[in-house]
A and B are shown apart, each in its own frame.
Chain A
Amino acid sequence: MAGVGSGGNDIQWCFSQVKGAIDDDVAEDFLYGKVVYQKITNMEVKILDFGSHGLLQGFKWISKLMYWMNKLWLLVPWKVPVLLVLLVKGEMIEKPNKQNKSQPHCRGEYNVYSTFQSHEPEFDYLKSLEIEEKINKIRWLPQQNAAQFLLSTNDKTIKLWKISERDKRPEGYNLKEEDGRYRDPATVTTLKVPVFKPMDLMVEASPRRIFANAHTYHINSISVNSDYETYLSADDLRINLWHLEITDRSFNIVDIKPANMEELTEVITAAEFHPNQCNTFVYSSSKGTIRLCDMRAAALCDKHAKLFEEPEDPSNRSFFSEIISSISDVKFNHSGRYMMTRDYLSVKIWDLNMESRPVETYQVHEYLRSKLCSLYENDCIFDKFECCWNGCDSVVMTGSYNNFFRMFDRNTKRDITLEASRENSKPRAILKPRRVCSGGKRKKDEISVDSLDFNKKILHTAWHPKENIIAVATTNNLYIFQDKVN
């Protein structure tokens, strides 16, 4: 996979698709129990029925998206008044490449596949508080049969969904009419064997397990283990281990709740299982530390096996040092040798064999360092950005403000800033690199720090596991970008 940057062998990203409300204003109507689907076969695109507008409406805002490992799936949940989980599935359309016949030209077209409501709005009667209507995390399970399984969670409850396709139905029952009414047995004179006839693709999502009542605090992470039998769920103070088949019991494996809550100074912010070792997981904290734990050591993994923490840089010390060191996301790479953490201003890559400091650090938006007080005031400093690896772990990507997102090439050490906006959304339009100037003279095409829009933030990004296709979520739009292939 080519690296990032401009010119030479590097990728030029160009616009592929955008989904969501046309305006940046939140659309008032929303999809509601309507299944919209399309199956794309090679060279064939079916027109979707989105209603009169022809475009998907009803995004409130996108709360999570991710690619799944082996399939060309893109999962987008978003917060609407009735919490929907949207599946967007795409297949590669192979078109013969005129110039280079040996390399087929692949383009991914993504369209809405299914929508279903994952979590109901809830009310916690014990605390007299509403449970906030949003889906915090989604994780796919590895596919074992024709159906797909995914875990989705809100603040308190995790649900396992089964998504299955149906494109055939039986016809020709002896005792039933076509519409389902029972026939009078006296009128049956002949027997026939019911046959399966093709029908329009129907996608069904059914809840299979509900894992509830195990978390006092807000769930921030779920992670499926490599044994494909267990998964962990992490809230602010505890991490629980579940078995996918058992819903009435979970094991607490990490508990950092102090005896006296007034002494609480640190919370868990993210947790993930190691991709290959089923006994290893990591969790990050609000103080910028990552702890690696081995479940073989003890039932309660309060003692970490490794502690990853970078010593504070005294020249950069400020009132906000602790807050900006709080880690918002942890992601292992595909091999499991490295892990990436995202704190407010930077992305760090750690070698699991070295605890003292990260092996690589990339500054995402260093120009914000002088604005931390204002960002603290408007709460932007608490924004939780995610990060992701590309398929071969050579490039990492994360989001920023003003609908900018950044990519860092680990090999060439080059980085690029791109923008997800409707203005750049002409078909096949190549994205232009953007630059932010922190002070002094502003060059042409640069944008100054003071004119950044802090309401336009990209918190979620995802990279296709095999191709150079990325999905970027703004507040209420989903952008898909692909590398430009001549």
Chain B
Amino acid sequence: MLAKGAKRKFSEHEDGVEGKMSCGNGPSKVSYTLQRQTIFNISLMKLYNQQPLMEPSLQRTVLINNMLRRIQEELKREGSLRPMFISPSQSSDTLNDNYREVQPAFNHLPVPPIQVTSLTSTTSPDSCLTPASVLEDDTFSSCQTIELSVCKSQNHSLKDSFSSALDEIEELCPSSTTADSKSCKSALNEGSSEKPDELQEGRSSETKFADTLPGNFEITTTGFLTDLTLDDILFADIDTSMYDFDPCTSTTGSSSKMTAVTADDILKTLSPYSNQSVTPSQPFKMDLAELDHIMEVLVGS
């Protein structure tokens, strides 16, 4: 019963970003979870809003990292994972059929370590929380500069990496069997698994993003923290673009509405980074056509 309550808690928490509703085991547990999530978010913001020219204080960074690690451990111990987000290497009893079918399609991709709302245990060696760019000494000098350049170039390379990510997704659906693509669609049609599916795609696309920058992968994307940031950027951008980009909506008609809703759901399921500034980059808008195409395929309209 506790597990069930915990699950419900999480789903409600995902839906309501600022989650004020009480549920499950009572307000104290919810507020504890809420506080934990808040602290988690604050910690992530702290790590990624560093002054660019000054070296960040190592003590502060280490303490924030430890905080994040502890929260992760706690969540892992609570066992409140959604079955979808357990990496394939871990066996899970509660996989639903759709997911089981969808998953093999993503098998060949490197398994994304962690998802934001439910922190899985990371079995992959890249599972460390610490952004190595901050702590790595050997590459300390190069890390800082690389991280800076990554931040700057992220916007520029966003187009390339994202289009390649989209290509990846595109490959998966047509290249897989008809059953798979059908299961993709059917999975999407179900409300509950729609989100994880999108997220799974986003996860894989983002891992692909990481892969396209091999140098950075070593340095900055070894932690789920960096994954989150990229995730945010990607999906945040999608969301805004969908709403702003008029030709998109006009050409795709009904499907655009569908995609807009989906993107919104995705954004909600992620941690509340609503205060993070979203800047849809110019080159990114050109990919909307491709995105549309993929959405069409997935939604099956």
Contact = CB atoms under 8 A, between A and B. Distances in A.
Nearest to A269: B59
A286 B63 contact: yes
B137 A261 contact: yes
Nearest to B136: A261
A286 B38 CA distance: 23
A128 interface: yes
B39 interface: yes
B142 to A, nearest CB: 9
Interface in B114-147: 128, 130, 132, 135-138, 140-141, 144-145
A373 B144 contact: no
Contacts of A326: 59, 63
B175 interface: no
Contacts of A129: 53-55, 144
A430 B63 CA distance: 41
B59 A257 contact: no
Interface in A358-389: 373, 376-377, 379, 382
B145 A323 contact: no
Interface string A121-145: 0001011111110000000000000
A131 B39 CA distance: 30
B62 A267 contact: yes
A286 B141 contact: no
A320 B66 CA distance: 10
Classify the secondary structure of B's interface with A: helix
Interface string B12-47: 000000000000000000000001101100100010
A382 B62 CA distance: 12
Given A326-B63, A373-B39, A376-B42, A130 B136 contact: no
Contact of A257 (B39, B67, B70, B137): B137
B62 A266 contact: yes
Contacts of A265: 62, 65-66, 69
B220 interface: no
A216 B35 contact: no
Interface string B135-162: 1111011001100100000000000000
Interface residues of A, number: 34
A264 B39 contact: no
B2 interface: no
B58 A127 contact: no
A264 B137 CA distance: 11
Nearest to A319: B39
A262 B53 contact: no
A128 B58 contact: no
A217 interface: yes
Interface string A313-357: 000000110110010000000000000000000000000000000
A236 interface: yes
The 7 closest A-B pairs by CB, nearest first: A261-B135, A262-B128, A236-B58, A262-B130, A126-B141, A261-B136, A127-B141
Interface of A: 124, 126-132, 155, 216-218, 236-237, 257, 261-267, 269, 286, 319-320, 322-323, 326, 373, 376-377, 379, 382
